[in-house]
Chains A and B, each alone.
Chain A
Amino acid sequence: MEVKLQVENEILDKIKHTFHSAEVSIPRKQRVEVKLRNDLIHPFLAYLKDTLGFKHLSHISTVDWLEENEIELVYIVMNYDNLVEVIAKIRLDREKPEIPTLREFWPQIETYEREIHEMYGVNFLGHGNLTDFILEDWEGIPPMRRDFDTVKYAKETYFNRPGREDAQDVRTTITKKSGEEIPELAKVYSVRHLE
């Protein structure tokens, strides 16, 4: 196992050596995960791309950690020479998520940043073209944020086709028949309410 992860460990050492504050781990073969301070993402990706040869940007993803009041950006870059992928993660303040753009590194980042701006409200400083990408004239909280209520939005925006009002809830039907009174603390555990 040690031998197999040789390349990954070399990359890990190099990253650790250059960015002391980075938390680096190897989740599995061909993957190196790095958790970074926000201000380091720019130099870090520059280092990966120009020095370590991570030329291919696979993906930028965003995760909203509502409970922790943070928005996580996940950059996945790949080195075609040693076939290792680095997953770099930073966490932005959810109230005011801001980070300088990375447009100059990979041209296609423009699209990713436009989408993340639109869907999560992350401001990419210096991007210059954070216009609508998929949505049009969207107002209100960015829709991919966890506190955006899809069901509420759908109810306000669309209507139900009539004819299904006679639907019954199974658990309620049973309690009506038996006279069972479900206490409030128990109701949250009804798996019937998956949504």
Chain B
Amino acid sequence: MREKETTIYLGPQHPGITGNMMVKLKVTGDTIVSAETHVGYLHRAFEKLMEARTWLQCFPIVCRICVPEPDPNEENLSRVIEEIEGREVPERAKYIRVLVLELSRLATYLLWMGGQSGSMGLYTMPQWTVGDRDYILDLFEQLTGGRVYHMYIWPGGVRRDLPEGFGDKVLKVMDYLEKRLKDYDDLLFNNALFYKRAKGVGVIDKAKAQEWGVVGAPLRGCGIKHDVRIDEPYEVYDKLNFIVPTYEGGDVWARAMVRRQEFEQSISIVRQVIENMPGGDFYNKIPNPLNWRVPPGDAYVKTESARGEFGYYAVSDGSLKPRRVHARGPAYVHGVSLLERILQGANIADVSFIMNSLGTCPPEIER
């Protein structure tokens, strides 16, 4: 019997990922013939709004570009302003920023572990990891005053100094997470069913990966070793010891294993940061924000977010407000053009599984 081609719509209500988007699938039987993404459910015109706000007023906006991982946005906007302005950042602030970024990476990976397992029906993992993520959010609450949206990194440094005894609290959480990682291994990474399910699924062609704009864990999952923290070290990453893991295969499995290894590396980075935290100022104060003009110029900066290269291009015309701020999230490429490509030939059940492994984040695509 010949199978008829059918069109089905996946989404827009959270198709197994954070945020609303829709994937229109043409399928024969269980196999996807072609996929077309539809975004536009979360467009908040952030880039337009920023042009009508002073530089500092942009900070409460940018952290909302990616809900699970707001800190790279703050980091990028701060750094792009600092680069245009030529503003120095104290050493201590740089260490604190790295601490925040790595804690944010850990939190994002925990959320990803939950999403990745949840999208294949393994619901114990999300319960564990979301619970464990809260320990990191507790740290953020103590450090920044906010749990999810921190608004903590800003031009010239960070907003407040570390609270007393914060380092020990961080180390305690790190010890705990390291212990828990064994449980995650047992349940997910060493799970034969996960292996069976993930191996050979959502394969990115290694030869095409760079041209397709693949970045972050998906790129390293193709065996290509690139990481902004190494390629273009920012803050104090050049003073820290860590390895950039790569896996061959380009499939969901390889991406998962890369993230699994990076999780350990991040714990190690956090410990190094706490150990080497220098004294001194945490902030090189900006002028009165109501009268703060950034000199004319433009710059492109990037940060290695948990999902890959996160870049900001900003232009100042010398006025109180930015001329243009453009956020380039990894999901912009991963979640649209790449996803459409690698969904071809996949099963319907694998769609959210693959989307999760690519780190698709609709609020970041639409901004």
Contact = CB atoms under 8 A, between A and B. Distances in A.
A and B directly contacting (CB within 8 A):
yes
Interface of A: 27-28, 30-31, 55-59, 61-64, 74, 76, 80, 83, 85, 87, 106-108, 110-111, 132-136, 143-144, 146, 148, 150-151, 191, 194-195
Interface stretch (B63-71, B87-95, B205-213): B205-213
B228 to A, nearest CB: 10
B45 interface: yes
B212 A108 contact: yes
B240 interface: no
6 contacts: A56-B215, A59-B313, A133-B40, A134-B39, A143-B45, A150-B52
**Which secondary structure characterizes the binding site on chain A?**
loop
B211 A55 contact: yes
A61 B323 CA distance: 12
Contact of B40 (A58, A110, A136, A146): A136
A143 B48 contact: yes
Contacts of A87: 300
A38 B132 CA distance: 53
Contact of B211 (A59, A106, A150): A106
B226 interface: yes
Contacts of B138: none
B328 A59 contact: yes
Contacts of A151: 52
B337 interface: yes
B332 A144 contact: no
Contacts of A64: 324
A80 B232 contact: no
B359 interface: no
Interface range on chain B: under 10, 10 to 19, 20 to 34, or 35 or more? 35 or more
Nearest to A57: B213
Contacts, number: 92
The residue in A30, A61, A106 that gathers the most chain B C-beta atoms within 10 A of its C-beta is A61
B49 A107 contact: no
A85 B40 CA distance: 30
Contacts of B57: 194
Contacts of A191: 290-291
Contacts of B48: 143-144, 148, 150
Nearest to B37: A111
B251 interface: no
A58 B300 CA distance: 10
Contacts of A135: 40, 43
Given A80-B231, A111-B332, A151-B52, 20 more contacts: A55-B210, A55-B211, A58-B311, A62-B324, A62-B326, A76-B300, A83-B232, A85-B300, A87-B300, A106-B211, A108-B333, A134-B43, A135-B43, A143-B48, A148-B48, A150-B45, A150-B48, A150-B49, A150-B52, A194-B290
Nearest to A63: B324
Contacts of B260: none
